Chain A
Amino acid sequence: MATQHSRSAARLMMAPAVILLLGWMLVPLTMTLWFSFRRYLPLRGGDLGWAGFDNFTRFVTSSAFWPSVQTTLVIVGGVLVITIVLGVLLALLLDQPMWGQGIVRILVIAPFFVMPTVSALVWKNMFMDPTNGLLAHLWRLFGADPIAWLSEVPTTSIVMIVSWQWLPFATLILLTAVQSLDREQLEAAEMDGASPLSRFTYIILPHLGRAITIVLLIQTIFLLSIFAEIFVTTGGAFGTRTLTYLIFQRVLESQNVGLGSAGGVYAIILANIVAIFLMRIVGKNLDR
């Protein structure tokens, strides 16, 4: 049983991490909040005074705001669905007895090690380029007109690139969970004549629930802030502007720090809504 002594020791041990993160959150957050109420235009001489709620109203009433929220949700949602569905299938496949399992696993996790800038550059130029890209060559081989990936299906292309990066992560976590399945239970079900599909639905899927939630949570955190993939491939054109990217445009391209900071405040609110929503699921799932 935890004593009073160990309780205060525990608090002490938690302190550095908590204080550091609190600082990391509060200092920039306070500054962002401060800027969001200022007319702060670096190229026009910096801080030009109090702006009231102007930046906040301007940011949401901008024609780019709602489409960017939508794009954010589409990209995050798309990547989540793809990585989780393919991740489950891949995990089940990798769990089968086979020759060279170790090597296959190495091949599958490799994309996770590639930095986002590099993977965006490689996909954009060497695969998705409509003239010299490998996919264009493939299309022509079958007599089809090459697709101009990043202008015709820009959001799909970005979802593809990001999914490629995150599929290994999902697969690994899910594979660990699959490996801990109760084999005897599965075999018993098989003996009882349960079809593969019903075995999947009633035994495997519930068992993976916890792992799926974790993949969902971790990936959402990272996906909400994807930036390099969009910056390198479309630069936010063709409706691929996410909320993060919109803020980037306001702060760095338009050089309107006040407006961008107001956007930052909205992004924090949005992230927290998503977070609370996620935490409720995760919280329930973690509580076993």
Chain B
Amino acid sequence: MSLKRVLGATTALTLCSAAAAFAQDTTITIATVNNGDMIRMQGYTDQFTEETGIGVEWVTLEENVLRQRVTTDITTKGGQFDIMTIGMYETPIWGANGWLVPLDDLSEEYDVDDILPAMRDGLSHDGTLYAAPFYGESSMIMYRTDLMEKAGMEMPDAPTWEFIREAAAAMDDDANDINGICLRGKAGWGEGGALITAMSNSFGARWFDEDWTPQFDQPEWKETLSFFTDMMNESGPAGYATNGFNENLSLFQQGKCGMWIDATVAASFVTNPEESAVADQVGFALAPNKEGVEKRGNWLWAWALGIPAGTQKADAAKQFIEWATSKDYIELVAENEGWANVPPGARTSLYETPEYQEVPFAEMTLNSIEAADPTNPTVDPVPYVGVQFVAIPEFAGIGTQVSQEFSAVYAGQQSVDEALEKAQAITQEEMEAAGY
């Protein structure tokens, strides 16, 4: 162990104990997203307060509102929050701007090396961790084993898009209200934009070439978008242009989807018998690729907790982060809610726990996470990092507008060519405005 780390750990410990001594009336404010795992965490915060004497105020917001709120606050140094829930897109950009407190002095007990390497890389800038993953995800195929069997097909562990399209058509059953495949079509870079971008990687497309020239005029994009639209029109649900993660989740839980390619975290919801009508008929497979393309269409994402620079309560905030993303927290949830419900995808040790290995989706989740490569996401070289996003500040705006054009294709309002032409123009405009 290096001297630096020992020093760091000691400082952290001293700070922590010092904080605990006068923390009796410290209260930290945390902005978070209204996802199930975060809501569950809120239920356990009383335990944290009991242990440390630090009070916690939650500001729980819907994802889009949260982004708008925390971005305004961090860029203007508003100081409204002591901890912000952010993703793999924001963390490296904010870290590079010096807006986040580096998490380089976490306690030894916390075991930062246990964080999955893919997650740790994605939440770091220049090798420094800026946010600790609460849970991480990739994407994978979730499918109905019973319907697959009925269609007389068998899902390979690593299927191709061609196979998926064929299987979707075979499973589609309008009379029984079953859609062969459900995918995100909703506008927004983190919604439908994420899926189509990850998918485009597996078709050999990319957002920018190495000179930051947009690539929507290339045949790979046309192929991606046409394939997606055709497949969804054949076997997708009505109105898929407005379906996002949530809409698809509820369709799948109601037994209205044959297949669904989406975040690995969904696996615990669709296999939970209390919420899902098809809990014991779900199988998992790696996200598909186009025949002959080595990249797969699976993304990488983490919801992580970061501390804005300038907060007066950095120590208390750090204590909370260590608590919420620790091994102990995972065990706490496992004890109370079962192993299938712990926050997944953040720690190596979780996937080495024998009880967790028995969870049906554990292995495929880990394989998917390990198969994603944010630093090298596309077939052709690109100047950016990120699988389903481009880690530059302008992307949120561009990505959302481009995905709006795509959603208009899904809704039948314009053709693939028109959409790509507009996407190219929008991206060019915005990149120019940003000074590229």
Task: Give A residues with C-beta under 8 Å from B.
Answer: 39, 41-46, 58, 62-64, 129-132, 145-146, 148, 150-152, 154, 231, 234-239, 241, 249-250, 252-256, 259
Given known pairs A58-B429, A239-B408, the reply for A43 and B393 (CB within 8 Å) is yes
Is B433 a contact of A148 with CB atoms below 8 Å?
Answer: no
Q: Produce 1/0 per residue, B246-269, CB < 8 A to A.
A: 010011000010000000000000
Task: Return B418 CB to nearest CB of chain A, in Å.
Answer: 12
In the assembly, what is the distance between CA of A253 and CA of B422, in Å? 18
Query: A259 contacts which chain B residues (CB < 8 A)?
Result: 433
Among B20-28, B117-125, B155-163, B233-241, which stretch is in contact with chain A? Answer: B233-241
In the assembly, what is the distance between CA of A241 and CA of B68, in Å? 18
Is B71 a contact of A237 with CB atoms below 8 Å?
Answer: no
A-B contact pairs, 9 of them (CB 8 A): A41-B434, A43-B393, A130-B237, A148-B242, A152-B411, A154-B411, A235-B400, A241-B404, A256-B394
Number of interchain pairs (Cβ within 8 Å): 112
In the assembly, what is the distance between CA of A130 and CA of B101, in Å? 45
Given known pairs A43-B97, A131-B238, A252-B68, the reply for A237 and B398 (CB within 8 Å) is no
Give the one of A131, A234, A259 with max B CB within 10 A. Answer: A131
Q: Chain A: which residue is nearest B75 at the CB level?
A: A42
Given known pairs A146-B238, A148-B238, A238-B407, the reply for A255 and B188 (CB within 8 Å) is no
Interface residues of B in 83-99 (CB under 8 A from A): 93, 97
In the assembly, what is the distance between CA of A259 and CA of B401, in Å? 16
- Given A43-B394, A235-B188: 12 more A-B contacts, CB < 8 Å: A43-B93, A131-B256, A132-B250, A148-B242, A151-B407, A152-B412, A231-B64, A234-B187, A238-B411, A238-B413, A250-B397, A254-B397
In the assembly, what is the distance between CA of A145 and CA of B251, in Å? 17
Is B433 a contact of A252 with CB atoms below 8 Å?
Answer: no
Give the one of A43, A145, A231, A236 with max B CB within 10 A. Answer: A43
Interface residues of B in 366-424 (CB under 8 A from A): 393-394, 396-398, 400-401, 403-404, 407-408, 410-413, 422
Is B425 among interface residues, defined by CB-CB distance under 8 A? yes
Task: Return B102 CB to nearest CB of chain A, in Å.
Answer: 19
Is B242 a contact of A150 with CB atoms below 8 Å?
Answer: yes
Q: What 9 pairs between A and B have smallest CB-CB spacing?
A: A254-B397, A148-B239, A43-B393, A42-B75, A130-B239, A237-B187, A151-B411, A151-B241, A237-B404
In the assembly, what is the distance between CA of A151 and CA of B185, in Å? 10
Is B72 among interface residues, defined by CB-CB distance under 8 A? yes
Is B47 among interface residues, defined by CB-CB distance under 8 A? no
Task: Return A248 CB to nearest CB of chain B, in Å.
Answer: 9
Contact with A235, one of B64, B250, B411, B433 (Cβ below 8 angstroms):
B64
Query: B403 contacts which chain A residues (CB < 8 A)?
Result: 237
Is B76 a contact of A42 with CB atoms below 8 Å?
Answer: yes
Task: Return B97 CB to nearest CB of chain A, in Å.
Answer: 7
In the assembly, what is the distance between CA of A41 and CA of B432, in Å? 13
Contact with B413, one of A239, A252, A253 (Cβ below 8 angstroms):
A239
Interface residues of B in 333-369 (CB under 8 A from A): none
Given known pairs A42-B75, A43-B97, A132-B250, the reply for A255 and B393 (CB within 8 Å) is yes
Is A249 a contact of B400 with CB atoms below 8 Å?
Answer: yes
Is B430 among interface residues, defined by CB-CB distance under 8 A? yes
Task: Give B residues with C-beta under 8 Å from A.
Answer: 64, 68, 71-72, 75-76, 93, 97, 186-188, 237-239, 241-242, 247, 250-251, 256, 393-394, 396-398, 400-401, 403-404, 407-408, 410-413, 422, 425-426, 429-430, 432-435
Is B434 a contact of A44 with CB atoms below 8 Å?
Answer: yes
Is B404 a contact of A63 with CB atoms below 8 Å?
Answer: no
Query: A42 contacts which chain B residues (CB < 8 A)?
Result: 71, 75-76
Is B187 a contact of A148 with CB atoms below 8 Å?
Answer: no
Given known pairs A44-B393, A131-B251, the reply for A255 and B256 (CB within 8 Å) is no
In the assembly, what is the distance between CA of A146 and CA of B412, in Å? 16
Task: Return A38 CB to nearest CB of chain B, in Å.
Answer: 13
Task: Return A202 CB to nearest CB of chain B, in Å.
Answer: 45
Task: Return B412 CB to nearest CB of chain A, in Å.
Answer: 8
In the assembly, what is the distance between CA of A238 and CA of B401, in Å? 11
In the assembly, what is the distance between CA of A237 and CA of B409, in Å? 11
Task: Return A270 CB to nearest CB of chain B, in Å.
Answer: 21
Is A45 a contact of B239 with CB atoms below 8 Å?
Answer: no
Query: A256 contacts which chain B residues (CB < 8 A)?
Result: 394, 397, 433-434
Give the one of B93, B238, B429 with max A CB within 10 A. Answer: B238
Query: A41 contacts which chain B residues (CB < 8 A)?
Result: 393, 434
Given known pairs A42-B75, A250-B397, A254-B430, the reply for A148 and B404 (CB within 8 Å) is no
In the assembly, what is the distance between CA of A58 and CA of B428, in Å? 12
Q: Chain B: which residue is nearest A145 at the CB level?
A: B238
Given known pairs A43-B97, A148-B241, the reply for A255 and B407 (CB within 8 Å) is no
Is A64 a contact of B238 with CB atoms below 8 Å?
Answer: no
Task: Return A2 CB to nearest CB of chain B, in Å.
Answer: 49
Task: Return A72 CB to nearest CB of chain B, in Å.
Answer: 17
In the assembly, what is the distance between CA of A236 and CA of B188, in Å? 10
Contact with B408, one of A43, A131, A145, A237 (Cβ below 8 angstroms):
A237
Q: Chain A: which residue is nearest B185 at the CB level?
A: A151
Contact with A151, one of B75, B97, B410 (Cβ below 8 angstroms):
B410
In the assembly, what is the distance between CA of A254 and CA of B186, in Å? 19
Q: Chain A: which residue is nearest B412 at the CB level?
A: A152
Given known pairs A150-B242, A256-B397, the reply for A43 and B75 (CB within 8 Å) is yes
